[in-house]
Amino acid sequence: MDTADQLCDLWMLYTVIRNVEYAHLVVCLIIILRWRYHRSKRGRRYSYISKIPKQIAHLHELVLDLNNTSLESLRLSRDVFGRLCVLLRDYAGLRDSRYVTVTEKVCIFLGILAHHKKMRIQKRSFKRSTWTVSIHFKVVLDAVLRLHDRLLVKPEPINTSTSSRFKYFENCLGALDGSYVDARVAESERAKHRTRKGTIAFNILGVCNEDMNFIYMLAGWEGSASDSRVLKSALSREIGGFRVRKGNYYLCDNGYTNCEGFLTPYRNVRYHLSEWGHGQAAPQNEKEYFNMRHASARNVIERAWEILKARWAILRSASFYPMKTQNQIVLACGLLHNFIRFNVENDPIEAEVPEGFEDSQALMVNEYISTIETSPVWSNWRDQLARDMWNEFRHS
């Protein structure tokens, strides 16, 4: 029946009931009923229910099919992925929502971190709306951050008798260094975030132990801030600050001050691992030998940063999230890095980073170090440590 016939029928009906009160309402009702009838015959063009089988098939492929698929897509094996979901559910309060399970939420989150996918790309993979992907990404991000007390390791003095790398560094807790993570900021903020190499980035402080597990991370500082300034900020914070107990110390490069709690190499003496070798490339004096051993031990933080960026592509390029969210993502990646190292013996990502990798960028108050100032006592201790190293090396 074409439109002309429909209008004719409606006009005839109107002439019949024109003397009836509210006749125009009856006509409107009839139009609506006829429209719904013809629409039902054509079939619905859009249905959430029809997408459920595709959603289930995609999740099955990610977490229940081949282990290699899970490693490539989520950067986690199926077993470790399952443990992460349990941890988030039991200790971070992550719950199934009405239409989205915890498994799917975590898959969405990890897929974005692992491959730096845009929301509109991720929504096609999971057959969800952009709003659904966005809201659940933020939900899982908050849940991961709530695990910081469980996933950040507690600093412990390294056992020098079992660690050849830290053989000479008694009472050392690990190493620290800053790293740049590309950022996307407002035009008015670009000057503050411009690094010495001209890129727009955040300066992130990372501290790790000898096993490359993060002890502390501080995000939020502009790329123009010096490493030493970021460290001072971490030490001065009353809440969430960095604490170094007196008598212990961390290894760091010459971007920091050689002072109590922070042991740096000698300046104007070759240092990088690539500069050492046999013959003429071997250390020639106590300062060079100290720098070589220091570089070898401090290399753990360089490799930790490289493994972190190799696993999570979102750290290798600027993202479109608000500045606060960008910093939270960096911290979440660090926490997930620790979780993976707790649960994986042979990490394929770690195998891709060479052993000698070097980054091209370079409780009682009186029980902890709260300032960074040069000290003759500390410098003299470093000199004595260097002499002891050299003497042992010469007579070995």
> Which residues pair with residue 172 across a beta bridge?
249
pTM confidence score: 0.80
Backbone angles phi, psi at 136, to 5 degrees: -80, -25
Q: Give the pair of three-digit tokens for residue 157.
A: 């003095």
- For the chain, the first-to-last Cα distance in angstroms comes to 102
Contacts 24+ apart (CB under 8 A), 103-107: 103/59, 103/63, 104/55, 104/59, 104/136, 105/136, 105/139, 105/140, 106/81, 106/140, 107/59, 107/62, 107/63, 107/74
Q: What is the pLDDT of residue 65?
A: 62
Which residue stretches of the chain have pLDDT < 50? 46, 360-366
Q: What is the pLDDT of residue 7?
A: 58
Q: What is the pLDDT of residue 348?
A: 84
